[in-house]
Each structure stands twice: as C-alpha cells, then as structure tokens.
Amino acid sequence: MNATNAHQPIILAPAGNRAAFLAALAAGADAIYCGLKSMSARMEAKNFSLEELAQLVRLAHDRGTKVYVTLNTLIKPDEVQPAGQIIDILGRQVRPDALIVQDPGVVGLARQAGFDGEIHLSTLANVSFPRALGFVARHLNVDRVVVPRELSIDEIKAMAGACPKTLSIEAFIHGALCYGVSGRCYWSSYMGGKSGLRGRCVQPCRRYYRQGGQAVRTFSCQDFSVDVLVKILGQVKKVVSWKIEGRKKGPHYVYYTVTAYRMLRDQGHDVNIKRDALALLDQALGRERSHYRFLPQRPQTPIDTRRQTASGLFMGKVQGPAKNPWVVVRHTLLPGDVLRIGYEDEAVHSICRVTRHVPQKGRYPLKLGGTRTPRSGAPVFLTDRREKALEAMIAEVEAGGAPPEEIGPSTFTTTLPTPMLKKQRPLEMRVGRTPTRSTGRHATGIWLSETAVANIGRSAGENLWIWLPPVLWPDDQDRVAGLVSRSLEKGVRRFVLNMPWQMALFNRPQGLTLWAGPFCNAANALCLESFRTLGFAGAFVSPELGETGILTLCRQRPLPLGIVLSGHWPLCISRTLADGMKLRVPFESPRGEQAWAEQHGPDYWIFPNWKLDITEKRRLLEQAGMQMFVHLDEPVPPTVTLKKRPGLWNWSIGLK
C-alpha cells in the first residue's frame, strides 16, 4: 500500500475454493474472506474443510494477509452446539483474524467459546441506518459492520458520520447484486426450503417472468462496480475495508478484480493505470457492470432487460447447423477456457472446454459430445479461465506453504439460556395497512406510515400495535423516527420492530412493549437471548423454520414467542424496480407462479398470489407455548387472482 496516504482501506477478496484463495494471495489482497463446508451464506461455493483452512490461514499470515471466516448463516436450534464447537476449533487451532456473522446470538456464542479475534456483522444483519451503528456499538460486542450494497456515497458518509470510535465500516465495491435487500429475501426459501439466509439460494430472481408481453429477466441485476469511483469512497475514513463479492467465482475473477482495485486505490491518479484497471474488470468474467445507487445524483437501474445478465463474459451466439454448431468469439479464447452455452437456469445449458487458441472474431466449434445440441442463437459465455501465467503464480504461492496439520475435536459445550416455563393465554392480532378496532383478545396491528399515524385516535392508541418496516435507509431515518415520536404522542405503547437496531429510534423504551418482529429472523435460543438483553419483551420466530425448528425453539425460549400464522408474506423487499415493470399488476413465471409488486415507503415488496397459512397448526403451537398469533392483511390488487394452494412454507419439508 502507498505509505504516503494516511487512509488506506484494505482490499478484501473472496475465496470459495483453494485456487481462488491462492489467486487472492498472488494478487496481493490485504485480507481474504472464506467459508467452511457448513454455516456459510455461500453454501453453493466449494468452501473449505477445517484442516485445509488452517493450512491456508498460516500461509496467508506468513505473507501478511488477514483471513476472515464466514459464519453468516441463519442457525437453527439444533445447530447451536455444532456452531459453538466450530468456533472453538477456529479460535484454538485455525486462528482466523475475524468471524463474519449475521445472527446476534452468534456474537455471544463466539465470546462464550473464547474466540478472541474480531467479529464483523454481515450485510445480512441489515444494519442500514446511522442510528443503528451507535446502538450496535453500545449493545453488541462487535468490531465492524458491513453496510448494504444499496447505499449511495452520501448515505455511506452519513453512516460513517454516526459510527462510534469502537466500530469500523466495510463497504462493497464490486460483485453480484441481489435483487432483494440482503436479509430480506425469502424467494428461494418460499419456493422450496432453500434459504438465501443459509447460503442455498436457487436464484429465482434470475429467471424469466412475463407481465403482459414478452417474457424477460425482470429481476436479474447486473453486477455492482464502484470502479473509478473508489477515489470518492477512499475519502471516507471510517470505511476501512473495500469488499469484493464473489465466493462462487474462480481464481481468474479473484485475481483480476483484486489487481484492478489495488491499481485504482494505489495509482488511480494515473490516467493510464486507471484505463488498464478498467480493462482488467472488463475481462474478469462477471456480468455487465452498474454503479447502481452509488452516485445519488446519477442513480442507475441495475436491471436492463435488453442486455445480458448471466454470469460470465458474453462471447457470442450459437450459429450453424444443429449437428455442427459454432460461435464467432468476441474475445480471444485460450486453451483450458470454460464456455457455458445458455443460461444457468435453462435445462438445456451446456459446458464446453476450449482445446485451442482462438483469436478475436475467430470461429470455434461447439462439440458437446453425446446427443446434446445447443439451440441456435443461444448465448455463449466465458465462465472460467486458467491462464498459464496465473497458474504459475498460484503454484509459486502454494509452494511456500506448510503441510496441513491434523485438527483435533472440540469438547466445548454451549450454554443455552434458561427457558421460560410460564405460559400465558395467547394473543391474536391482525396486521394491516389501515387501523381497525380491536376486540377482546384480538389485537390490532398496523404498519407504520403517515396515513396510519394520522388516523390513530388517542383512545385507541394504547391497544394498538405499530409495526415498523423491515428495511430502513439513511435517507428515511428521520421520517420514520418522526412517525414513531408522533405515535408515542398519541398514546401508542406497543411496537413490533422488524430490525433489532430499530431500538435506536426509541429514546426511552421503558414503559413500552417492544417485540422483535418476524423479519428479525430469530431461529435459535441464543438469538432470542440477545433480543431479551436488548430489551425486547418478546420475539417472533423466523417464518422460514419448519415444524421441528419451531417446536424446539418453543421449548428453549427465554422470552415469549410469536408467529405469523397466515397472510401475505413477501417473496422479497427491494430498493429497485425494472423500467417498465408495473405495480399492482400480476407477473408470471414459466411455471405459472404469479406474483405482484407493491410499493410501501421507498421500497418495493414482491408478493406471491398465495398466502402463508399454517392456521391448522395453531392448537399444536399453542400447546407448545406460542403466545402471539399474527395474521398479515395486504390489500390485493383487483387485477390479481389469489390461488388456493398449501401455504405451509417449510413446515413439513424443513429449512434446508
């Protein structure tokens, strides 16, 4: 790094396999983040065994590079003990520099297991507004917060301005964009139990959808890239780490992106260096790039249905007869390159390994073997490359490492909080967008909005539950805080917070009843205990859990539990919408699944045309000790027809 610059953020590289880890070292990454075979938010990456990771950590430390290990998955009740033992082994035998976590309960678990490295809150934890940082610093024993990709540079500066001395900030500078806000996407889970919160997302947002006319990839985003604008980000001193996304990417991508951003950070003032760095990013085998919202005066929609949004470098389209197809390549091909014909989600997509050098605009035959024949006009992407020079650098780095050492078992035993035994008569609540009168044991809930607060009568305020939004941006913090204050002035004393950090909006929470909402993704007893210590009177379980997880959590609960029993649960919440996408008008997948987009506040909620509905399990849940049952009412557009289908979500199949 350039020693003449007082503020030099580190470049944090992704590594989903050994070759990518070594490529990051060869490129001079300051730190590398990677996951284990389990409990990582990128389970589709190959990831590492403990033995392999320990060897690589020693190699990285010998070269002055730090290593962060991701344990940023939603942890189910039966996974708390294994997670504690993994952390114990990491701390004693692997010795990474930091853990990256999303679950507040894992922070306490790490300290319980004696881990003495840093702890970083993942972007999945959704710490997204300035006041949240002060709250996190006061109440959680963490060192760094990874802020969302959706923030503009002005919003990042606002976060930095509110960041206490004990915390630092990490910001993404490059990589894939999810359509849904991190920690607020349930699309993959809703379609079959494979949760994005657990690293198993099947990417339904990348598929074709039809709204009226032609089927297009309505939610498939381009990659995010700050590229030359890192010069502006580098001026924000609280941002100490620049993060590159891509733990499912190969070594070529890792080496090129790390090298490019080192050039931009250290020599970005040089016009020629800047040009060369951009050329490296062009060849990094990612999607087409977008600045997204980074420049607030020139925001970019990251969805362009007229352009390619598949991973890999677009090389051309399939031509010629079905038996002997070819592609005329837009870029040079090298022996060993890997081509993908078609999109990842297409059943007919194929892989072709290049056997010889092909110059730009040269023709390469697509010999797939067997009876497979690519469709004419199918796009062809370069998805992986192993240049001899890079292979040589990787081999040189690896040669400096020590042989692996055996990792011993852990005898650590997690201490769970004392479960509460007292049962109370359960409360039932309907939650809507406009206030209605509560009756008897049926409470009324309402989503926070200007209209809702304006219509609160003082006599009704004490019996009303206000539900806060699942996402809160820096630009919207003051508006939401003002609505909370007006609600309090009107006598409201009960609130459901859908981010634990929304506690920061209440100057004096004493005398109030505050529950952690279902979007807080509580899934284990330690998470619930962390909510109890933060001052919550109760918590909703994550709606992603299956029967076994929910009933186990009921037995282990250290505070009262609630659950969403029925209603319209969103597939995801996003900060963007594709140009031409119409609100409150149904769209359809190739499989006939329908949904619609609705705007609430600054965000877009995507709803399926069928409800979550586990009302048939109510008696079982009440016997297990559940104390709050909620029904979510969402106005259904007249153009949308609700479909009758089971709404059990993961109840029977379990959360993958």
Q: Are 268 and 228 spatial neighbours (Cβ–Cβ below 8 Å)?
A: yes
What would the mean pLDDT of 309-321 be, rounded to a whole number? 91
Instruction: Give CA separation, 633 vs 1, 428, 464, 570, in Å.
Output: 55, 13, 15, 12
> Which strand (E) or helix (H) includes residue 230?
helix 230-233
CA–CA separation, 622 and 425 (whole Å):
9
290: left (phi over 0), alpha (psi -120 to 50) or beta: beta
**Which amino acid, one-letter code, is at 483?**
L
- Are 570 and 605 in contact, with CB atoms under 8 Å apart? yes
Residues 282-304: tens digit of each pLDDT: 999 999 999 999 999 999 999 98
Query: Tell me: the pLDDT tens digits for 28-67?
Result: 999 999 999 877 655 455 679 999 999 999 999 999 999 9
pLDDT value of position 43: 47
pLDDT for position 368: 79
Mean pLDDT of 205-222: 92
Q: Which residues contact 113 (CB under 8 A, 6 or more apart)?
A: 84, 85, 87, 88, 91, 412, 414
Q: How large is the average pLDDT for residues 608-624? A: 97
> Computed from CA positions of residues 12, 16, 21, 24, in that sequence, does the dihedral angle turn out positive or negative?
negative
* Cross-strand pairs, 644: none
Whole-number pLDDT of residue 300: 92
Range scoring the smallest mean pLDDT among 28-32, 192-196, 607-611: 192-196
Confidence of residue 402 (pLDDT cuts 50, 70, 90): confident
Helix, strand, coil % over all residues of the chain, rounded to 5:
30, 20, 50
Longest dimension (CA), the chain: 79
Strand order in the sheet with 603-608: 572-574, 603-608, 594-600, 587-588
Residues 327, 380: contact at Cβ < 8 Å? yes
Identical fold between 313-384 and 427-569+611-632:
no
Gap between the Cα atoms of 207 and 290, Å rounded: 20
Q: What is the band of 616 on the pLDDT scale with cuts at 50, 70, 90?
A: very high
CA distances from 445 to 24, 40, 140, 492, 633 (A): 50, 35, 29, 11, 10
* pLDDT at residue 574 is higher than 50: yes
**Would you identify the CATH topology of the domain 313-384?**
Elongation Factor Tu (Ef-tu); domain 3 (2.40.30)
Rounded distance between C-alpha atoms, residue 603 and residue 111, angstroms: 36
Q: Helical H runs in 407-494? A: 450-454, 458-461, 477-489
CATH top class, domain 10-177+223-285+390-399? alpha beta
Residue with tokens 């082994």: 89
Q: How confident is the model at residue 308 (pLDDT cuts 50, 70, 90)?
A: confident
Assess contact for 646 and 611: CB atoms under 8 A.
Answer: no
Confidence of residue 459 (pLDDT cuts 50, 70, 90): low
pLDDT number for residue 421: 82
pLDDT of 370 above 70: no
Give me 515's structure tokens. 């529950």
pLDDT higher at 6 or 49: 49
Tell me what pLDDT residue 373 has. 78
Residue 2 pLDDT: 46
| Distance, CA of 243 to CA of 240 (rounded, Å) | 10
Query: Residue 424: pLDDT band by 50, 70, 90 thresholds?
Result: confident
Lowest mean pLDDT among 372-381, 473-482, 618-627: 372-381
Question: Would you put residue 190 in left (φ > 0), alpha (ψ -120 to 50) or beta?
Answer: alpha
Q: Is the pLDDT reported for residue 1 higher than 50?
A: no
Residue 170's nearest CA partner among 182, 156, 158 is 156
CB environment 430-449: b (16+ within 10 A), e (fewer): bbbeebeebeeeebbbbbbb
Long-range contacts of 634-638 (CB under 8 A, 24+ apart): 634/432, 634/433, 634/567, 634/568, 634/598, 634/607, 635/433, 636/568, 637/584, 637/585, 637/586, 637/596, 637/598
Beta pairing partners, 67: 32
Q: Measured between alpha carbons, how far is residue 333 from residues 158, 285, 304, 379, 397 in Å?
A: 45, 13, 27, 16, 26
612: β partners? 567
Mean pLDDT on 521-527: 98
Pure H helices in 14-69 = 18-27, 50-62
Helix (H, G, I), strand (E, B) or coil at 159: helix
Amino acid at 597: A
Contacts of 6 (CB under 8 A, 6+ apart): none
What number is the average pLDDT over the span 87-110?
Answer: 97
Alpha helices in 283-387 (DSSP H): none
Domain 427-569+611-632 has CATH 3.20.20.70: no
139-153, 419-433, 625-639: which range is least confident on average? Answer: 419-433
Domain boundaries, the chain: 10-177+223-285+390-399, 313-384, 427-569+611-632
Instruction: Please provide the DSSP assignment of 618-641 as one string.
Output: HHHHHHHT--EEEEE--PPPTT--
**How many secondary structure helices (H) and strands (E) does the chain include?**
17, 29
Lowest-pLDDT range of 570-574, 581-585, 586-590? 586-590
Give 379's pLDDT tier (boundaries 50, 70, 90). very high
- Report DSSP state, residue 182: T
Strand partners, 629: 428, 563
406-412 average pLDDT score: 94
Per-residue burial over 353-365, b = 16 or more CB atoms within 10 Å of its CB, e = otherwise? ebeeebeeeeebe
How far is residue 115's CA from residue 128's CA, in Å, rounded to a whole number? 26
**CA distance readout (Å), 194 to 84, 189, 421, 653, 654:** 23, 5, 33, 10, 9
pLDDT above 50 for 3: no
More confident site: 600 or 324: 600
**In b/e form, how buried is each residue of 513-531, taking b as 16+ CB within 10 angstroms?**
ebbbbbbbbbbbbbbbbbb
How far apart, in Å, are the Cα atoms of 269 and each of 1, 277, 290?
A: 15, 12, 22
Q: Which amino acid is at 333?
A: L
Output phi, psi for 470, to 5 deg.
-75, -15
* pLDDT at position 4 over 50: no
Q: What is the mean pLDDT of residues 260-289?
A: 95
- pLDDT at residue 237 in the model: 96
